[in-house]
Amino acid sequence: MRTLLVSLISCVLLPGEAAIGQSRPLAGPDVRQIYDRLLPQIEQIPIFDHHAHPGFYDDTDVDAMAAPPGSSAFRERNDNPELIAASKALFGYPYDDLSAEHTKWLVEKKAELRKSRGVGYFSDILDKLNIEQGVANRAMMADYLDPKRFVWVFFSDSFLWPFDNTKERARNPDEEVYIPLQEKMLHRWMKQEGIAKLPPTFSAYLSFVTRTLEDNQKKGAIGEKFEVAYFRPATFSDPSREQAATIYKKYAAGGVPTEQEYRTFQDYVFRYLVREGGRLQLPVHIHSAVGIGDYFNISQGNIFNFENILRDPRYSTTTFVMLHGGYPYERQAIWLAAAKNVYMDSSFMELAMYPAEFKESLKIWLETFPDKITFGSDCFPYNAALGAEESYWLGVHSARAALTAALAEMISADEVSEGRALELARAYLHDNAVAIYHGKVH
């Protein structure tokens, strides 16, 4: 009650705020008007893109894994007419369809700009969309991305797969694609650290892991990312170091671990990486939504399986960024952001849902922990014609429209003033994410 009184008083005293009465259950007829007034102001807010995969289609470093052939949800298919609008806006695409003959024009136009603009190519795309700076979540950074505009988040999953993965690969056709790529990534880290084969002891393995994180940070990385739910259940037990060391000793030189042994080893190493993320101030980004491919296990990959990690006081100095907001459980998952070190990122949600629906999810987020939510485009080069460029456009336009619509309804229903709504918009599009990195991004 005392807290309520104090906040009521501070509400009354806030300068420049119009008085707001009791909130109303229905938005008024002025929603459209408010939306039209707000949108140009929200378009003016420079974005920090908290999750994206910028790069060219023929660049294999865009991700540490690859998309297996599988079904795509309706809006993510190549025939989405919104992608034509994106190509028109970004490249002046002169056609109204994406026929093979016409997309040739687009592919050639991009190749020409790529040649003439060099490192400016992707910065130009950011400029067109008013993105000030953005994350490049990539296997390795690309020399064609300007480091002033793109900051690196690398992948940490591969440290979980050092043994003979014959059994892990055979679980389903998707793992047959994913796991060899994890092996490849691990070998790249080993090469980076000057290691020809797995270290003989577990403590030497863990120092190799730490050295990799530290060296990546020196190269400019601002965070480490896991997409672990693609490869195994997201439930992590709490084994001792001795348990993990025994398994390492048994299999480092060869042999196929049982599933239980592998999981126990991985549970320890995952927790180790989370702890190191805290020590190094390297926020931990975690894929927390449904995934691509036909075999992604939704119940085992469910964001709530991470709850024991997120709520563990031992990791209170680690910052967690839950990528894709736990979608399709985002409306419940926002409550995980109650923990002061847990943030929810809406990337991919704005691509999976049309703005009319994304607006509803965003509104619940804005009404619950508006200071803990961040924007990400999750752009990705899908094919030669439909690239990261078009998905940047789709992500940014969808999110700005949905954000404006959500705030317009909140203003109309007397939940927030227009001034406060614009503050919330800046927080979501820019300020909340930037504050996580202590001056390393802007």
Residues engaged in binding Zn ion (CB under 5 A): 378
- Is beta strand 150-155 parallel, antiparallel or unpaired with respect to 342-345? unpaired
Which residue from 33, 20, 7 is spatially nearest to 404, judged by alpha carbons? 33
Task: Please count the residues of the chain.
Answer: 442
Q: Which helix (H) or strand (E) holds 330?
A: helix 330-333
In degrees, rounded to 5, the angle at the alpha carbon of residue 372 between the alpha carbons of residues 369 and 373 is: 95
161, 186 in Cβ contact below 8 A?
yes
Counting Cβ atoms within 10 Å, is residue 144 exposed (0-12), middle (13-18) or buried (19+)? middle
Q: Of 239 and 301, which CB lies nearer to Zn ion in the complex structure?
A: 301
Q: Of 345 and 409, which CB lies nearer to Zn ion in the complex structure?
A: 345
Closest CB 137 distance from Zn ion, rounded Å: 6
Positive or negative, the Cα torsion across 425, 40, 44, 94? positive
For 198, the token pair is 């797995």
Classify residue 16 by its DSSP letter: T
- Nearest residue to the partner Zn ion, using Cβ: 378
For 45, the token pair is 């807010």
Closest CB 285 distance from Zn ion, rounded Å: 9
Question: CA 37 to CA 93: how far, in whole Å?
Answer: 29
Closest CB 33 distance from Zn ion, rounded Å: 36
Q: Of 261 and 378, which CB lies nearer to Zn ion in the complex structure?
A: 378
Q: Of 52 and 385, which CB lies nearer to Zn ion in the complex structure?
A: 52
Four-CA torsion 155, 160, 164, 166, nearest 10 degrees = -80
Q: Of 225 and 430, which CB lies nearer to Zn ion in the complex structure?
A: 225
Q: Of 52 and 84, which CB lies nearer to Zn ion in the complex structure?
A: 52
Closest CB 376 distance from Zn ion, rounded Å: 8
Other CB atoms within 10 A of residue 393 CB: 23
Closest CB 19 distance from Zn ion, rounded Å: 43
Q: Of 157 and 378, which CB lies nearer to Zn ion in the complex structure?
A: 378
Closest CB 57 distance from Zn ion, rounded Å: 16
Closest CB 304 distance from Zn ion, rounded Å: 20
Q: Of 51 and 271, which CB lies nearer to Zn ion in the complex structure?
A: 51
Closest CB 218 distance from Zn ion, rounded Å: 24
Question: CA 134 to CA 146: how far, in whole Å?
Answer: 11
391, 382 in Cβ contact below 8 A?
yes
